[in-house]
Structure formats: C-alpha cells, structure tokens
C-alpha cells in the first residue's frame, strides 16, 4: 500500500482538514492579474526578441535557447487556461471564459472542448472502469495479456517515450486539437472552430508581416517543447510508482485524489513555471482552488503534507511503468511482465 493510501485510510475521513482546504478556493483578483502580467507579457516580449533575432540573421541556436524559456511561459499560460476551465482563476465565470479562450489560442487548445474532457477526467480519474476520456491510455496486465498481438504492438509504440513525449505530444496540440471529437456539445465544437479560426488569422497576419518562415521558426519549437513538457507533467501526475487505482465499487473522488494523484516536488523555478501544478493531489481534492493558492494550502494543512513526494529523479521511473497490476496494486513495466513469463 502506498504512502498516499495510508493518508486516506488514516485520516482522510475526518471532516476538519477537508473543510479547511475548501477555504483556499476563493480567487484573488490581485494575484490573478499579477499572474497574467508575469506570464503573458514576458511571453510576448520573448516573441518580439526572437522575431528580431531571426530577421537579423543571428544564429538560430540563440532563438532555440530562447524558445525553451518561452515554452516555460507558455506552460504557465496553460495553467492559467486550466484554472479558467475550472472557473477558479477569477470569481467571474465570464472573465474565466474570455481569458480561457485567449489562453487557448496561445496554447493551441480549444477552451470549451478541453474543459469538457477535463471535467470528465476529474470525475473518472483513478477509476479503472471509467477510462478513456481526458486521460492517458493505460492497460491493466490482464487486458494487455488478452489483447490481440496488433493491439499490444500499438500500445507498446504509444508508450514509447519518444512517441508519447515527442511525436505524440506535438501531434495532439498541432493536429488533434484542430478536430472536434465525438460526443462534444455544440458549444464545445464551436470552441474548436473559433480557436482554429483565430489561429488561422494569426498565421495569415504573420505571413503578411513578419513572414511565414519567421513565424514557423519561432512558434514550432515553442509549441513542441511546451507540449512535450505538458504531456510529461500530466502523465506523471497519475502514472507513477505508488499509484493506486480502483474499480467502480471501491472508487470515491477523495480516494482518487489522495491515492491516484501525485505530489510532484519540483525546484522552485520549475514550480513557478508550471504554476504549482505539482501539488496535484490538492488540486484533485479541491479542483476550485486557484493554482496560486495551492502552496499556501499545502503549508497550512498538515494532512496534505503526509503524501509521499515525487522528485525529478524518482519520477523518471514512470518512463518504465506501462501496465497496472490489479493483484499487486501497482504499475509494472513490460520487462517485469516478460520476467514473470520466463519464470513461470
């Protein structure tokens, strides 16, 4: 049993701490505006600087280095987008929607469509019987063993780091997000079309002003780096050593929040760029807490600090954990499965 499971069975059923966490749901206009200022403006200034560098003929390596920094700010903008989707960034739903659409265009993500799939993710996360929407494809050991050979190969390719955090992540933000998915509501489909229209206008204006080549040389590395990092963050939030997943008859939102969501303890600089999303267990306990309130909740509610943290080195183990073993209640690797077969 993981340390997170221990937290649940030991103290999670008490009402005091759970109600205390709720007190951090109140948005702050001052903090929200400051986060917009220190996220969107630096991103814009970096774009201006990179345009000048590309057009002046400076070494493209300088632009690529700056692209890494710009990608960090784009990830931070995505966290703003994420909070807007939870109606937690501002108290006003309308303000959240407007900012969400703007941030969605910058991050190549349709606001309403993503908001819908992410809401499904929150209502089903950690539930083995409700997988498939807003999460990363994960098979159990039994499912993998009984799957046709072709499906096993597709799954192994999908799980390869180069695919998931390279080609795959880029495809999602550049192409998959451009298409309305099945089951979307009218407003969700409309957000896809509006986002695509806005991106089209941006590309057209860029082509008529700075030039399409300059736009691509700047935008492409930024979105690819940000996409790879964002997919990694989402992946390690729910697929890590010690995670516990449940079937319908055992699953509850609180169990999933504490036992199926990680606390990713990042260095201060990376925590800032990722908008405190490492406190993901707290986010799932109370999704309406704005990202800028998560550290304060963590510091002041002792029960939230009993969750075993993931460091960057320990989180890398997730790269080799591909299947969930329901009998052992843990993630295992393809190698583990092969060794079991050879030892049988």
Please state which of the ranges 127-136, 152-161, 256-265 shows the lowest mean pLDDT.
Answer: 127-136
| 128 and 247 Cβ atoms separated by less than 8 Å | yes
Rounded Cα gap, residues 85 and 289, in angstroms: 12
pTM: 0.92
Q: State yes or no: pLDDT of 9 exceeds 60.
A: no
Dist. CA 273–CA 258, nearest whole Å: 24
Name the residue with higher pLDDT: 81 or 19.
Answer: 81
pLDDT value at residue 191: 96
Which domain, by its residues, includes 31? 3-343
Question: 331 pairs with which residues across the strands?
Answer: 324
**pLDDT tens sequence across 20-53:** 899 999 999 999 999 999 999 999 999 999 999 9
Assess contact for 279 and 307: CB atoms under 8 A.
no
Count of structural domains, the chain: 1
Of all residues in the chain, the percent with pLDDT exceeding 90 is 85
Please say whether the beta carbons of 82 and 111 come within 8 A: no
In residues, how long is the chain?
Answer: 344
Q: What's the pLDDT tens digit per position in 187-205?
A: 999 999 999 999 999 999 9
Phi/psi for 252 (5° steps) reads -140, 155
According to the model, what pLDDT value does residue 12 have?
A: 46
What's residue 11's pLDDT? 44
| Mean of pLDDT values over 217-234 | 97
Rounded to an integer, what distance in angstroms lies between the CA atom of residue 93 and that of residue 20? 24
């Amino acid at each position: 049993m993981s340390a997170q499971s221990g937290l649940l069975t030991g103290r999670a059923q008490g009402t005091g701490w759970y109600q205390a966490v709720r007190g951090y749901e109140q948005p702050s206009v001052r903090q929200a505006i400051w986060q917009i200022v220190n996220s969107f403006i630096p991103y814009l200034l970096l774009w201006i600087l990179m345009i000048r560098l590309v057009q002046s003929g400076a070494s493209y390596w300088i632009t690529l280095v700056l692209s890494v920094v710009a990608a960090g700010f784009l990830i931070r903008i995505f966290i703003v987008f994420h909070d807007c989707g939870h109606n937690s960034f501002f108290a006003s739903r309308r303000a959240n929607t407007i900012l969400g659409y703007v941030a969605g265009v910058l991050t190549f993500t349709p606001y309403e469509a993503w908001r819908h799939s992410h809401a499904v993710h929150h209502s089903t996360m950690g539930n083995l019987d409700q997988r498939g929407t807003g999460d990363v494809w994960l098979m159990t050991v039994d499912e993998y063993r009984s799957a046709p050979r072709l499906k096993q190969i597709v799954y192994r390719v999908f799980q390869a780091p180069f695919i998931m955090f390279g080609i795959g992540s880029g495809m999602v933000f550049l192409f998959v997000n451009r298409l309305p998915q099945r089951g979307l509501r009218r407003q969700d489909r409309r957000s896809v079309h509006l986002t695509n229209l806005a991106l089209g206008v941006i590309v057209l204006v860029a082509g008529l002003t700075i030039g399409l080549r300059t736009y691509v040389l700047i935008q492409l590395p930024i979105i690819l780096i940000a996409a790879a990092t964002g997919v990694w963050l989402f992946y390690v939030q729910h697929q890590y050593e010690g995670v516990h997943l449940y079937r319908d008859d055992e699953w509850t939102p609180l169990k999933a929040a504490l036992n199926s969501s990680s606390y990713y303890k990042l260095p201060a600089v990376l925590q800032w760029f990722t908008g405190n999303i490492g406190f993901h267990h707290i986010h799932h306990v109370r999704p309406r807490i704005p990202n800028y309130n998560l550290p304060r909740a963590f510091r002041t509610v002792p029960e939230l600090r009993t969750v075993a943290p993931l460091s960057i080195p320990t989180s890398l183990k997730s790269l080799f954990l591909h299947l969930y073993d329901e009998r052992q209640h843990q993630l295992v690797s393809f190698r583990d499965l092969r060794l079991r077969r050879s030892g049988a």
